Amino acid sequence: MNEEIIDVAIEESREKMNKAVGHVKTELGGIRTGRAVPGLVETIKVQLYGTEVELRKLASMSVPESKMLVISPYDKGSIEAIEKAIQGSGLGVTPSSDGQVVRLSFPPLTEERRRDLVKLVKQKAEDGRVAVRNLRRQARHELEALKHDSEISSDELERAEREMDKATHSAIGEIDALLAHKETELMEQ
């Protein structure tokens, strides 16, 4: 019984940590690297027919060349709304349209802009690490409460804490790997 309680607590924390890592991955994917990537625009919210819809649900995206992203709306009537959403997104790219598709041409990043983006990426990674550590702390409090209520022993608590530390180090390692990859991407010319 005690094993089950501990295993459930650890597994819940692992799942939450994986979600935190996934969130960091999504956040980093939305940061421009000088190369056209669908991840830069897929989560942009488009006002269409009175509702907000993510761009990925309204159009397909392709990258015909490294600095060009082509957005092909399923409904050609949504082109204006897509252009407006991209302009308002702060992406720093002006869309052009021929009535069938929207093209985004990405200019090369300046060295100063690259450094600013590296700072932003590091901050997002640190936010992810903090979230993972907070999840570990929350799980520890729950486990300590179980020990306090005599539902688990001190040995079981120690084992559970070691498992939590392993899960935490694993999640932080993943975040660090994502950060290193994104930094390399940003500093490439």
Q: Report whether 10 contacts 160 (CB < 8 A).
A: yes
> What is the spatial distance between Cα 41 and Cα 89, in angstroms, rounded to a whole number?
9
Q: Which of 105, 138, 157 is the last residue of a domain?
A: 105
> What is the spatial distance between Cα 125 and Cα 181, in angstroms, rounded to a whole number?
12
Q: Report whether 56 contacts 43 (CB < 8 A).
A: yes
CATH of the domain at 82: 3.30.1360.40
Tell me the residue ranges of DSSP E strands in 35-168. Answer: 45-48, 51-54, 59-65, 68-73, 95-97, 102-105
pLDDT in tens, 112-121: 878 888 888 8
Instruction: List, in order, residues 6 or more apart from 119 with CB less than 8 Å away.
Output: none
Q: Which of 105, 130, 150 is the last residue of a domain?
A: 105
Same domain membership, residue 69 and residue 97: yes
Q: Record the tokens describing residue 23, joined without a space.
A: 């969130």
CATH of the domain at 173: 1.10.132.20
- Asked whether residue 168 carries a pLDDT value surpassing 90, the answer given is yes
- Asked whether residue 159 carries a pLDDT value surpassing 80, the answer given is yes
CA nearest neighbour of 185 among 64, 47, 73, 36: 36
Report pLDDT for 136: 93
Report pLDDT for 1: 58
Same domain membership, residue 164 and residue 134: yes
Q: Which of 70, 105, 140 is the last residue of a domain?
A: 105
Overall number of domains in the chain: 2
Same domain membership, residue 82 and residue 20: no
Summary mean pLDDT of the chain: 86
Say what percent of the chain tops pLDDT 70: 97
Q: Record the tokens describing residue 45, joined without a space.
A: 């919210």
Same domain membership, residue 178 and residue 118: yes
Same domain membership, residue 183 and residue 114: yes
pLDDT in tens, 85-134: 888 877 777 888 888 888 988 777 788 878 888 888 899 899 999 999 99
pTM greater than the 0.85 cutoff: no
pLDDT in tens, 5-26: 888 888 999 999 999 999 998 8
User: Where is mean pLDDT largest: 25-29, 64-68, 172-176?
Assistant: 172-176
> What is the spatial distance between Cα 125 and Cα 130, in angstroms, rounded to a whole number?
9
Same domain membership, residue 181 and residue 114: yes
**Rounded (to 5) percent helix, strand, coil in the chain:** 60, 15, 25
Neighbours of 131 (CB within 10 A): 18
Same domain membership, residue 93 and residue 47: yes
Same domain membership, residue 55 and residue 68: yes
Same domain membership, residue 44 and residue 62: yes
What is the radius of gyration, based on Cα positions, of the chain? 22
pLDDT in tens, 20-65: 999 998 888 777 666 777 777 888 888 888 888 888 888 888 888 8
- Asked whether residue 151 carries a pLDDT value surpassing 90, the answer given is no
Q: Which domain holds residue 78?
A: 38-105
Same domain membership, residue 114 and residue 101: no
Same domain membership, residue 177 and residue 136: yes
Q: Report whether 8 contacts 2 (CB < 8 A).
A: no
**Phi–psi pair at 120, nearest 5 degrees:** -65, -45
Same domain membership, residue 116 and residue 75: no
